[in-house]
Amino acid sequence: METIVFLCNGEAEYYSKKGIIKNRELPSLIKSVISSGDYYRTSWSCGNSKLIQVGDRAYLQRSGNNGNQPSGFIAAGYVIAAPEDKQSRLFGSKYTNLSEAYIFDYDGYFAVNLQIDSVVDFDFTLEQKYLKNLPPFQGINFNFGGSGCRFNSKAASSLDSEWEKHSLIQQRQGRGRSLVDIFFEQGEYFKQKNEYQAAIDAYKLALEVDLKYGKAINRIQNWESIINRKRDIYQYPKSAVEPQHL
């Protein structure tokens, strides 16, 4: 799995189901969908990159020509397969080597489908200048020539860790949303009501977003243990006397 960086120019137009908006307005739209308990799915330009695969990690990076604007990451998710009838590989021999992620190209550029599960407001990015000062990112290139470039695999896990911390901080300030936390919060709600199985189901949804989400793993283990103990308590022993048949 590679980590792919997709550029997001705030002044560029984005065609949403509700009409045309500026890219800088996109985080608000993504937040509303994530808050409803769903992923935000969209196609995104990847320039001339032809090597992107389903399952690759995806980051949206704020870009633009204004040097005073903070350059950094605003959203994260994964590359997913395009609808089967719209996959580029079905539209001619020159596309057959592309993965299922590619949707038919437009304006001479390729695009792939993304599934976004966490986002922060456009002006509260995980800034590159901050990351560059951290030991794991020393010598890592942050100058991407276009959308769809690979991020250095040596620092990919560190980027995920920093993004998790940053997005959580912004979420607490009302400036971001993460689907894994939405499901975890649902689990906590059911836990408070002693609805054990509903809580476990919600925590498992959190793990579908992030398999390594430690808080959900611990909660599932605890509550499954409680359910099993209750089941043992209320399980009546079999009668020692065998019934007699006439």
Question: Which sequence spans correspond to the domains of the chain?
Answer: 3-174, 178-233
Question: Which tops the pLDDT comparison, 39 or 212?
Answer: 39
State mean pLDDT over 161-168: 95
CATH number of 178-233: 1.25.40.10
Which token pair is 32?
């509303």
Distances (CA, A) of 170 to 55, 118, 163, 185: 26, 11, 10, 16
Highest mean pLDDT among 115-119, 191-195, 208-212: 115-119
The continuous run of DSSP H or E covering 178 comes out as strand 176-178
Question: Which tops the pLDDT comparison, 224 or 29?
Answer: 29
CATH number of 3-174: 3.10.590
State mean pLDDT over 163-169: 94
pTM: 0.86
pLDDT at 165: 94
pLDDT at 241: 46
The burial class, CB within 10 Å (0-12 / 13-18 / 19+), for 53 is middle
Give the integer Cα–Cα distance in Å for 138 and 54.
Answer: 29
Give the integer Cα–Cα distance in Å for 146 and 135.
Answer: 25
Confidence tier at 171 by pLDDT (50, 70, 90): very high
State mean pLDDT over 131-144: 94
Distances (CA, A) of 107 to 10, 45, 47, 97: 19, 10, 10, 20
State mean pLDDT over 90-98: 85
Mean of per-residue pLDDT scores for the chain: 88
Equal CATH topology for 3-174 and 178-233: no
pLDDT at 246: 45
